[in-house]
Structure 1
Amino acid sequence: MCNNCNLNIDAERTDEFGQKLLQIVNHSALSFMLSIGHRARLFDIMSEMEHATSEAIAEQSGMNERYIREWLGAMVTGGIMEYDPVLKTYFLPAEHAALLTRAAGSNNFATTMQWFSVLGSVEDQIVDCFSEGGGVPYSEFARFHEVMAEESYNSVVCGLFEHILPLVPGLEEKLNAGIEVLDIGCGSGLALIEMAATFPQSRFTGFDISEESIGRAQASAAKRGVTNVTFQVQDVSQMNLTNTFDLITAFDVIHDQAKPDQVLSQVNTALKPGGTFLMQDIAASSNVEQNIANPLGPMFYTISTMHCMTVSLAQGGAGLGTCWGKELACSMLEEAGFNNIDVQELPHDIMNYFYTMTKMS
């Protein structure tokens, strides 16, 4: 029997919520189309074209016109592109291209849209986890390392030299002079390779548990001809290194770990006295009520449920999740031995906090 049948329902409120759900349906559909547009490089191609027919776009891209035309229908009705019904031409405004093309760098939203199809590939397993507990391992996520590499390029590499490294006073001078640097959870190594190429006097090491990611990193370093960087498959909770590095970085890594407390303790031990730990992690609170106004709150909790939390739980881990938050992060850093934690934000990055701290002598 329906428990709500005898309640007085506010019809206007129901209608407003229905309109919101309708928007969600359309926006969810558009996320897939935006992802396809990115992967097929259609936004990049159209940003260089004036008003063009679907045939012209297909010819320029070398793709099937019928698929192009249907995809364009989604772009027009979704307000992504403009359409001239008389000439039957399509146009990507420069203001939209500034947020959808590879030239946009860290502003490229289309890169992020790929996550929804990646996460959708494990929906059945996630539903099972709701009943059975446990988690879904990294190996189940198709294209994860490829998409993560693109996301890391946008969120880390694009702002690395202009914004991120300057957060630590005097760091670039030390890198120029020559220091030992470790990046934990380095993934495909894009940030580390860029640093190694820019600071040839320093020596760089990348650790990641994924053999696929380390293979990508090694191949990229070899292709670039960068020789002052090495990559190694390594569980970063078991580094067992003491007073080894002057700088350790962790870009969007800690909350995914099975044993994050152990990783942070290992980082502290591996740092030389006076060394710096630079940690990028999600800009969220540990308290859900403080995330309600967060413009990326729903996305953070969704990615957590369908990736960050579950890959940790799959290893029998803590399952911190994406929104472990600044409060818990600072508490765990203090427990690991850090006591001078500075949390900063960058004006161009609404997704991340940047934690910097120095190991005391």
Structure 2
Amino acid sequence: MPFDTHTAQRDPAAFADRLGEQINGAAVVTMISLGHRLGLFDRLAITSPCTSQSLAEACDLNERYVSEWLAVMVTGDVLDYDASSATYRLDPGHAACLTRSASPDNLAVVAQYIPLIAGMEERLLQCFRTGTGLAYPDYPCFHQVMADDSYQTVVTALFDHILPLIPGLTDRLNEGIDVLDAGCGAGKALLALAQAFPRSRFVGYDLCLEAFEPTRARAEELGLDNLHFEQRDLRAFDEPGRYDWIASFDAIHDQAAPDALLAGIARALKPGGVYLMQDIAGSSYLENNLVHPLGPLLYSISCAHCTPISIGQGGPGLGTMWGEETARHYLHQAGFDDIQVQRLDHDPFNVYFVARR
């Protein structure tokens, strides 16, 4: 919005109070991420109320550290504390937002992005000063965080919500078709699909071998012969007329050459084939995102990860919030004439583009 030079100065005390709340919130969220990774919330949901000692023993952790973590959760109004019995309790309403059984509504998964971003501060200082980018190996635990997030938004919704976005797709998968996940990450969606549809053939390409290697090993353990993973730089992707269905889940805006990849995807579809692109729901224009419920987080992820990753590959640095308008432009430019935009009730933070040539 335009500046109003006649507006009175904002109250600095009110701003300081709000900033203090945000700093406290950041501290709590960082500890929520730690609790998620240690399984503390999952255990609390089962054993509440409990003492710090019993919780530590149940999770095979050191009680002194668990006690300090519990203090953060109590002062952050995440847990309830009974001083008379020195016990801690996770309210069921809070557990519905913090435990693995609550997927896809487990916000503790999203909390992991905060310490991930904070841990990149020194490298980001250099990016700001030099204009250079970063590579995926520069980010600690990135693939695990993305796998957790993708499992919540994609895998748990795959059969009941995502596949029905394309009429008749489930029937075709049962009959047997060729499927590609371009930028597959951990590849957990492909694993689920390969198990559910043994007559179809599934391929996952990703730049990072370490992202999908555990899933590839799992597929071998299960004896799946219809699932193939390959490490590929997708900026030169060109496999004309090979696939009936291609999908990309939160992957295109990070690419070194998103325009070339999308054009390659368009060429790779067989006649009648369809492309499904999931990406962040938002506008390409900052002024349209002022009331976005996760605007600060998504722009922070963009600044700390998506933009430097693209720039590090020589890409345009579109960022997380490249927006629906820019995404439509890229799809049209790639040769997709029929583009439908879909949203799912359970997933307000992503948008799904169903595109055909």
Q: Does 1:125 align with 2:97?
A: no
Question: CA offsets, 1:170-227, max 9 Å, x none?
Answer: 1101111110000011111100010010011100000001121232231121233322
Q: Indicate if the aligned counterparts of 1:118 and 1:144 stay in contact, CA closer than 8 A.
A: yes
Q: Indicate if the aligned counterparts of 1:278 and 1:354 stay in contact, CA closer than 8 A.
A: yes
Q: Indicate if the aligned counterparts of 1:217 and 1:231 stay in contact, CA closer than 8 A.
A: no
Give the deviation of 1:9 after TM superposition: 11
SS of 2:49's partner is coil
Aligned residues: 353
Question: CA offsets, 1:33-88, max 9 Å, x none?
Answer: 00110011000001001311111111222211111111000000001000111111
The TM-score normalised by the length of structure 1 is 0.95
* Residue in 1 that maps onto 2:72: 74
- Cα distance in 1 between the residues matched to 2:347 and 2:147: 18
Q: CA RMSD in A?
A: 1.6
Question: CA offsets, 1:93-117, max 9 Å, x none?
Answer: 1111111111011111111111222
Structure 2: state its 5+ residue gaps: none
- Cα distance in 1 between the residues matched to 2:356 and 2:9: 57
* Residue in 2 that maps onto 1:200: 198
- Cα distance in 2 between the residues matched to 1:214 and 1:198: 19
Q: What code does the residue aligned with 1:28 have?
A: A
Question: CA offsets, 1:267-301, max 9 Å, x none?
Answer: 00111111010000000100000000100111111
- Cα distance in 2 between the residues matched to 1:224 and 1:300: 36
SS of 2:296's partner is helix
- Cα distance in 1 between the residues matched to 2:321 and 2:225: 37
* Residue in 1 that maps onto 2:295: 297
* Residue in 2 that maps onto 1:326: 324
CA distance change for structure 1 residues 8 and 297 in 2, over 3 Å: closer, same or farther?
A: closer
* Residue in 1 that maps onto 2:187: 189
* 1:1-361 → structure 2 map (5 Å cutoff): 13-359=11-357
Q: What code does the residue aligned with 1:233 have?
A: Q
Structure 1: state its 5+ residue gaps: 1-6
- Cα distance in 1 between the residues matched to 2:24 and 2:192: 39
Give the deviation of 1:12 after TM superposition: 7.0
Which consecutive segments of 4 or more residues in structure 1 shift more than 3 A? 7-12
Q: What code does the residue aligned with 1:79 have?
A: D
- Cα distance in 2 between the residues matched to 1:341 and 1:290: 22
Q: Indicate if the aligned counterparts of 1:187 and 1:210 stay in contact, CA closer than 8 A.
A: yes
- Cα distance in 2 between the residues matched to 1:10 and 1:292: 21
- Cα distance in 1 between the residues matched to 2:6 and 2:34: 45
